[in-house]
Every structure is written in structure tokens, then in C-alpha cells.
Amino acid sequence: MLRKTFTGLLCLAVSMLAAVAPAAAPALADNPIVQTVHTADPAPLVHNGRVYLYTGHDEDGSTWFTMKEWRLYSSADMVNWTDHGSPMSLATFSWASKDAWAGQVIQRNGKFYWYVPVVNRATGRMAIGVGVANSPTGPFSDALGRPLVENGEIDPSVFIDDDGQAYLYWGNPNLWYVRLNSDMISYSGSATQIPLTTAGFGTRTGDAARPTLYEEGPWVYKRNGLYYNVFAAKCCSEFIGYSTAPGPTGPWTYRGTVMPTQGGSFTNHAGIVDFKGGSYFFYHNGALPGGGGFTRSVAVEKFSYNADGSIPQITMTTGGAPQNGTLNPYTRQEAETIAWSSGVETERASDGGMNVGFLENGDYLKVKGAAFGSGATTFSARVASAAAGGRLEVRLGGPTGTLAGTCTVPGTGGWQNWTTVTCPVSGATGNQDLYLRFTGGSGYLFNVDWWQFTGTTGMSIR
Ligand code: FUB
């Protein structure tokens, strides 16, 4: 469990930011995106005004890529991320034995297809499986009951061209593609190797077996008629490089570095999307306390393509991407919608959603850029406690910032026995960072499922 370890990172982030922006009020870090567990191999998907971020899950204390499930987070503004739990795991694939590694999701025919590498128990080799769901949040089931393709290589990336032809790319140490049929779970022709030439993928020195920079983790997409393959380069430590081509199968030309080797993880893994007018680069590093090469965390930066379509060099930051929009505190918000948290964990709630839990005295979560407008009058939260409960402090600007109100949470007789508490609030006007801080005695205090403010009109603003 990732508990009680973020104060140092937060202080470091605050002091680093204060050093570069002394005149501004201290901003708190928003990278890495997830603080509750270790996440890796980000694969973003934009759907209906939200970005869905599919990730791997590094087990705490791992000394290898010990990965049993995938995780999902979504956001409407790139800073407040809703935890959707684990919509797919090794158990989804009865034929898989281990290694829930890097995949990608794509939408077609009203369904969502999740391509992932796992070890095929029968052969002991890495194979690519396909999960399918009717919603981006799952649940995903095994589309085939067997691997889609198997050649011992990893890291599928999926792409549908403008003419409707879909391609699946994958590979380490080689780079492969296959033409997917429109059902997305079968293919035509056979797996084809993309020639790894130094012109196409750069020159690696000192490794005769791997003369080019291409290592793994391709992320293939098309923009303004140009095909991009952004990939993990060189090993180890990896950096992120990219190549472009006039067509989906090449010929590829190496274009340089997207993100240099940084961040305390010897792997990196890229995912790129355009969202609400901006371009976003997702990656992973070892930035959380206890983080490293096998305990990674996903993060995001905003960037702009150069006029010629080239990708600028991008550096890891603790600040992350700027908020794209605001959050409406007058509609019901899931408690697991979080910009930053300390000591907080999430779990599956009895209603099938998620709640935050395992909250102890002083733990808090941050919701960035809540648009309070002319002012909030009350705060309500859905809470449960098998213990004695505690207090839910509504604070503004920081975890010990202005106290706008305090709700008393009673014991409810169970961690999933829910009741709604309401308390008056004052001072919550305009756009502010909201902090929910949990206080009380020792041990676990209470769980929170959702929260909502009412405004000065006494009604929710929609
Ligand atoms: O997460 C396991 C493996 O590490 C991925 O499949 C690679 O891309 C690297 O990130």
C-alpha cells in the first residue's frame, strides 16, 4: 500500500516550484497522475469529452515487472482524475499465466477493444490478447478465448487509418504489424516485420544485436497525413524517440528524441492524444516515494507540435499539464476524482463504483479548480464508517488552508453502510482548489463515496 509517504515529495515539489515562481502562490504538484497505487505504461483514449487513461499496475515493492491487472482513470480536464478501478486483469484471460504488460484501447463498432501482452500458459511465450467491452470503463471480457497473435513479443499499439483499415503494431526486439479485419479480433495476411534500419529508427552503438534505437512500446497514430511511431528507445535506461512515415507501414524516418532519459525508471512508455484543443504526452517514471524501475507512475505533459509536424523535446515536470476547464462542485462528484492525495486509497464500493477509504487522521485529497461562482452554502458527502467516524474538513487552497466547513461523520455500523452528512460552508467562491481533509482519532476513520455542494441559490447548478 502506498501510505503516509507523500509529504516529502509534496514538500520537494512545493519548494522546487517556489524556486522557479516565487511571486505566485505555491502550486502543488499534479504529476504523477495517480498517488494511490503504482501505475505504468499509459495508454490514453479520448471518448465523449473525457480522456480515459488505461495503465498497468506495478505491485508495491516489486523487484520485477510483477503485474496482475490493468487500471483505468478518466478526466474531463487533465488534472482531476476519476479512479475506475481495474476493469481487466489476468483472470480475464483464462489462457494467460502472468505479465499484464503494456496495451492500448481503441473504439470501433460501438465497442472498446483492449490489446494486451500476457504470457500464454500453454506455450510460456508472450502473446497478444484482446479484451472487449461495450463501454470505455468495461467490464472487459476475453474477445477470443485465445491469443489474437503470438510470437513471443510485446507492447501492442492499435490504429485505424482514414480508409478504415486497422493495424496492430507490437514488438521487442523486433517491430511487427498486422492488418486487423473490421471486427478488430481477426486479421488478414500474416504478421509482417517492419525493417529496423538506422535511417528509420536511429543508430544504437555498443549493442550488435540491436543496431537501431527501437526497443519497445510503439505508439502509432496519424496527424495531418503524417504517420507517427513514438517508441521507447535504447536500453537501459530508455528514452522516448520517434519516427514518421508517409504511410502506415513505412518507410519510416527517425526524427529524434521526444523525452530524454529522466525520472528514476529505466523504462519509459509513451501515449499521445489530442484533447479539447491541446496535445498531451503521457509517460511513466519512478517519481513517487518507493518508486523506481518496477514501481512506476504515469504522468502527463501538454505540448504543441512544431509547424512542420515535428514533436518538440518534452521534459518531465511535477506540475503536469494545465487544467483544461474547471470542475463543477454543484454536481455530484465521485470522491475518487482526485488531482492529488496523501494517505488515501481507493476500493470497489458496494454499489459497483469506487470509494476512497483507509483514511487516517490528517489524510487529504485535492480537487483542482472547483468553480464555486458566487458561493457555496452547504457541503454534503456520502460516508460510511465501521469505526467511530471523524470529521470531514472542507478546506480551500491547501490541505491546511482556509477552513470553509466541517462535517461530522458518525459511525454507521459498516464500511459500506452509507449515510449522507451535510454541513454549512462559507468562503467558497470563484475558482479554488478544494481540499477534503479527514481528521479524528487513531486507525481508519471513514469512507467517502461522493460529495456535492449547494450554491447561494440553494440549488445545484447544472
Ligand atoms: O510494464 C512492462 C513493460 O515495461 C512494458 O510492456 C514495456 O513497455 C515496459 O514499460
pLDDT in tens, 205-236: 999 999 999 999 999 999 999 999 999 999 99
Q: Active site includes 60?
A: no
Helix (H) or strand (E) holding 7: helix 7-20
Q: What is the pLDDT of residue 457?
A: 58
Q: What is the pLDDT of residue 456?
A: 79
* Centroid of ligand 1 to alpha carbon of 446 (angstroms): 36
pLDDT in tens, 27-74: 457 999 999 999 999 999 999 999 999 999 999 999 999 999 999 999
Could you tell me the sign of the dihedral formed by the alpha carbons of 108, 109, 110, 111, in that order?
negative
Rounded mean pLDDT of 271-297? 97
Q: Which atom of ligand 1 is nearest to the CA of 40?
A: 1
Is the pLDDT at 461 greater than 60? The verdict is no
**Residue bearing the bigger pLDDT, 60 or 16:** 60
Give, as one character, the DSSP assignment of residue 374. T
**Is 438:446 a contact under the CB 8 Å cutoff?**
yes
Rounded mean pLDDT of 265-277? 98
Is the pLDDT at 20 greater than 70? The verdict is no
Q: Transcribe 121-183 into DSSP letters.
A: TTTTEEEEEEEEESSTT---EESSSS-SEESS----EEEE-TTS-EEEEE-SSS-EEEEEPTT
Q: What is the pLDDT of residue 29?
A: 73
* Centroid of ligand 1 to alpha carbon of 172 (angstroms): 10
| CA 63 and chain centroid, separation | 22
Residue the block writes with cell 511487427? 176
Is the pLDDT at 332 greater than 60? The verdict is yes
pLDDT range class, residue 162, cuts 50, 70, 90: very high
Bridge partners for 104 per DSSP: 115
The C-alpha atoms of residue 347 and residue 353 are separated, in whole angstroms, by 9
The C-alpha atoms of residue 279 and residue 442 are separated, in whole angstroms, by 45
Helix (H) or strand (E) holding 100: none
Helix (H) or strand (E) holding 405: strand 402-409
Instruction: Locate 409 and state its grid cell.
Output: 461523520
* Catalytic residue from among 30, 83, 155, 216: 216
pLDDT range class, residue 11, cuts 50, 70, 90: very low
Bridge partners for 212 per DSSP: 203
Residues in the chain: 462
pLDDT in tens, 81-131: 999 999 999 999 999 999 999 999 999 999 999 999 999 999 999 999 999
Is the pLDDT at 4 greater than 50? The verdict is no
Q: Out of 38, 39, 41, 104, give the residue to mutate to test ligand 1, the one with the largest number of ligand atoms within 8 Å of its CB.
A: 41
Nearest to 72 by CA among 99, 104, 49, 48: 104
pLDDT range class, residue 17, cuts 50, 70, 90: very low
Give, as one character, the DSSP assignment of residue 90. G
Residue the block writes with cell 535504447? 234
Backbone phi, psi, residue 97, to 5°: -105, -35
* Centroid of ligand 1 to alpha carbon of 278 (angstroms): 26
Helix (H) or strand (E) holding 271: strand 271-275
* Centroid of ligand 1 to alpha carbon of 400 (angstroms): 38
Could you tell me the sign of the dihedral formed by the alpha carbons of 339, 341, 347, 350, in that order?
negative
Q: Percent of the chain beyond pLDDT 70? A: 93
Q: Out of 63, 65, 239, give the residue to mutate to test ligand 1, the one with the largest number of ligand atoms within 8 Å of its CB.
A: 65
What does R_g of the chain's alpha carbons equal in angstroms? 23
**Residue bearing the bigger pLDDT, 8 or 145:** 145
For atom 3 of ligand 1, the residue with the nearest CA is: 101
pLDDT range class, residue 262, cuts 50, 70, 90: very high
In sequence order, what are the residues at sequence separation of 6 or more whose Cβ sits closer than 8 angstroms to the Cβ of residue 440? 361, 388, 389, 390, 391, 409, 446
pLDDT range class, residue 381, cuts 50, 70, 90: very high
**Is 159:180 a contact under the CB 8 Å cutoff?**
no
Nearest to 265 by CA among 440, 110, 84, 38: 38
The whole-chain average pLDDT of the chain stands at 93
Q: What is the pLDDT of residue 28?
A: 55
Q: Percent of the chain beyond pLDDT 90? A: 91
Domains in the chain: ranges and CATH: 9-13+28-303 (2.115.10.20), 333-455 (2.60.120.260)
